[in-house]
Amino acid sequence: MTQDFFQAFILLILVTDPFGNIPIFVSALSTVTPERRWRVVVRECAIAFFLLLLFMFFGKHFLQALQLSEVALRIGGGVILFLIALRMVFPQEGGVFGATEGDSEPFIVPLAIPALAGPSSLATVLLFSSNSQSDVVVHVGALVAVALVWLVVLLGAERMQRALGERTMTAVERLMGLILTAMAVEMLLAGIREYVKTLG
């Protein structure tokens, strides 16, 4: 169970990428008054958390309604993760999800969605859907732990960016991108293996 928790925790950290999202949050909150910034961060993290939790619990029903197989989702999720990982390894202007626009206070977009609860993280928690009570406890626990990491990292985003510098932040994001690339390939291969079994 501990190993499953650790794997789920690491995977969710990688796909939600709080460290890589630091520049996005700093940029999006630059027009917000300093005394309101922490409230916006907490609100956006809460929205992303509950959205991922919703997908985790109702993932299988969602798949059934769309007539999608878990194999298709696993392969699709692997492809999305791989594309996200490539953008992390080879940074582009505006970050992984592109530049943010507008001078108003950000609400849901782009911080909660897609910065934290993006396509890759939604696909990942859909894969966590399980009928086993122990698995549900492990996955919910991992998501709660990841949400706490979001708060710690993003509440100190400005200080962290100033302390570490742009080069260090880029190096950390590239390292996380390399790890995510390996996990994405593993997910893709697992999906292909499952699909080949259905042909036999």
Cα(134)–Cα(109) distance, rounded to whole angstroms? 33
pLDDT, tens only, 5-36:
998 999 999 889 898 788 778 877 878 888 89
What pLDDT, in 10s, does the model give residues 151-195?
Answer: 999 999 888 888 888 788 778 778 877 877 887 788 788 888 888
Report residue 18 CA to chain centroid gap.
8
Cα separation, 166 vs 161, whole angstroms: 7
The DSSP code sequence of 30-89 is TTS-HHHHHHHHHHHHHHHHHHHHHHHHHHHHHHHHHT--HHHHHHHHHHHHHHHHHHHH
**For residue 85, which of 159, 156, 14 has the smallest C-alpha distance?**
14
Give the number of other CB atoms < 10 A from CB of residue 199: 5
Mean pLDDT (whole number) for 86-96: 67
Provide the percentage of residues in the chain whose pLDDT is more than 90. 22
107-144 pLDDT tens trace: 887 789 878 987 778 878 887 876 677 788 999 999 99
Residue 49 has a pLDDT of 97
